[in-house]
Amino acid sequence: MALLDRHAAQRGAYEAIRNASADPFSVRFDSVTSPTEGVIEGRRTILLGTNNYLGLTFDPDCIEDSVRAVRERGTGTTGSRIANGSYDGHVALEKALGEYYGRKHSMVFTTGYQANLGLLSTLVGRDDHLILDADSHASIYDGARMGQAEVTRFRHNDPEDLYKRLRRLKDTPGEKLVVVEGIYSMLGDVAPLKEMVAVKKEMGAYLLVDEAHSMGVLGANGRGLAEEVGVEEDVDIIVGTFSKSLGSVGGFVVSDLPNFEVMRVVCRPYMFTASLPPAVVASTLTSLRKLQETPALRHKLHANARHLYEGLQNLGFQTGPNCSPIVAITMPDQVSAVMMWNALLQNGVYLNLALPPATPDSRPLLRSSISAAHTPEQIAEVLATVERVARELGVLAEPKRAAIA
Ligand code: PMP
C-alpha cells in the first residue's frame, strides 16, 4: 500500500462531489469587499457562511489599530511566548479578557483549536475522566485524544444522560471534567446549561464551556451562554476564539482555578507554536472593546437571525431547533445538498456545505451564519434566491395555488 492509499474512499467521495458541482471545500474569493459581500468567479456574492457575527472584520478602528501595530511591532513574533517572549499586546489582551470575564487567569492561544487541544490534554490526565457532549467540536475530541484521561461521551444536550454517566463514575478515582459548547456550530442549538450545571454540582465535577459561537452573541454583556442563563460562577473554565465575533484569529481561556498559571509551562499547544502577530492582537483588543461598548450590534444580529430563521421556516425548510445566528437547513440527502449548495453559489449566495461525518445525526446541512452587518435587503435577497433555487431543483414543492372561489 502506498502513502495516502488509506484515504482512497474519501478521495473517491470528494471527486464525486467535484464532478457534480464547484468544489465546496476550496471556494476562492476573488475579493472580499465587506463583512457580507465578496466576489467569487467574477460574481458579486452575498457571504452567508463566515461566522463574522458582529461584522467587525472591516471596522475602521480595528483596521487602524492593526495597521499601526504592524508598523510599530513588525509582521510577526517569529516564536513562542515561552521561548521567545511576550509582546506588550499579548499581556494587554490577556488582561482585557480577564477583566471582561471577571476571572483571575487568562491565556491567549494562537487559535481556538489549539486552546482546546492544549486544555483538554492538560487539565486532566491519567486516572481522570473527560465527559464530552457527543456533538463536540473536532478540537475537543482531538484534545481528548492527545491527553490521557478516560473519555466518556454523553448524548448531545441531554443532562439526564450526563447525570447517568457521571453517576457511573462516582466511585472511580480521579477528577471529572465535563465539556460543553454554548452554541453548537452545525445546527446553532444551545446547550441546556442550567441543567448541566445542576448535574455537575451534584456530582462534584468540573465544567468547561466552549463559547466559540456564543461570545458576542449571548448574554447582556456578550460573554456567552453562561452569562445569558446566569451560571458564570459555576463554570470553571471558559474557552473562546477570536475568529468569530471578534473578527480576527486566535483563542483564549479564562478561569479562576487555583494555580492555573502552570498551564503556561505544561500546555504544549501553547508552548511549542508561534504567538499571535501584533496586528492580530491589536485588532482583537479593539474588537473586544467594541463588543462591550456596542450592544446594538448584538441586537441587530438577533433581529437578522430571526429574519433568516423564520424566513426559511416559513418556506418549509427544516432548520435547527432554536433561532440563533447559525441557521442550518437540513437536506434530505447528499446529492440534493451538493446540488443546492452549488446552485446557490452560481446565484450569488455563499453558505457552507456540511456533510457527514462532520454533522449531527449523519444529515447533510446547508449551514449559514448571519452577521449584524447584513442588511434586511440582503436577507430578503437570500430568501428569494433560496426559494427560487430550491423550487427549481425540486427540493421545495411548488406552492399550492389558492383556489379561486
Ligand atoms: N470550538 C468550536 C466550538 C468551534 O466551532 C471552533 C471553530 N469552528 C473552534 C473551537 C476553533 O476555533 P478557531 O477557529 O479559533 O481555531
For 63-110, what is each residue's pLDDT tens digit?
Answer: 999 999 999 999 999 999 999 999 999 999 999 999 999 999 999 999
- The residue nearest atom 5 of ligand 1, judged by CA position, is 185
Q: 212 CA to middle of ligand 1, Å?
A: 6
pLDDT tens digits along 153-205: 999 999 999 999 999 999 999 999 999 999 999 999 999 999 999 999 999 99
Whether residue 403 is predicted with pLDDT greater than 90 in this model: the reply is no
How much is the pLDDT for 405?
45
Cβ 109 under 6 angstroms from ligand 1: no
Decide if pLDDT at 23 tops 90: no
- CB of 65 within 6 A of ligand 1: the answer is no
The pLDDT tens digits for 105-118 are 999 999 999 999 99
Is residue 181 within 6 Å of ligand 1 at its C-beta? yes
CATH label, 59-293, candidates 2.60.40.1180, 1.20.200.10, 3.40.640.10, 3.20.20.70: 3.40.640.10
Q: Which atom of ligand 1 is nearest to the CA of 181?
A: 3
The 3-class secondary structure across the chain, one letter per residue, is: CCCCHHHHHHHHHHHHHHHHCCCCCCCCCCEECCCCEEEECCEEEEECECCCCCCHHHCHHHHHHHHHHHHHHCCCCCCCHHHHCCCHHHHHHHHHHHHHHCCCEEEEECCHHHHHHHHHHHCCCCCCEEEEECCCCHHHHHHHHHCCCEEEEECCCCHHHHHHHHHHCCCCCCCEEEEEECECCCCCCECCHHHHHHHHHHHCCEEEEECCCCCCCCCCCCCCHHHHCCCHHHCCEEEEECCCCCCCCCEEEEECCCCHHHHHHCCHHHHCCCCCCHHHHHHHHHHHHHHHHCHHHHHHHHHHHHHHHHHHHHHCCCCCCCCCCEEEEECCCHHHHHHHHHHHHHCCEECEEECCCCCHHHCCEEEEECCCCCCHHHHHHHHHHHHHHHHHHCCCCCCCCCCCC
Looking from the CA of residue 136, the nearest atom of ligand 1 is 3
pLDDT digit string, tens, across residues 29-40 = 999 999 999 999
Is the whole model's pTM more than 0.90, yes or no?
yes
> pLDDT tens-digit profile of 299-340?
999 999 999 999 999 999 999 999 999 999 999 999 999 999
**CATH placement of domain 20-54+295-393:** 3.90.1150.10
Same CATH topology for 20-54+295-393 and 59-293: the answer is no
pLDDT tens-digit profile of 249-303?
A: 999 999 999 999 999 999 999 999 999 999 999 999 999 999 999 999 999 999 9
What residue ranges do the domains of the chain occupy? Answer: 20-54+295-393, 59-293
ipTM of the complex: 0.99
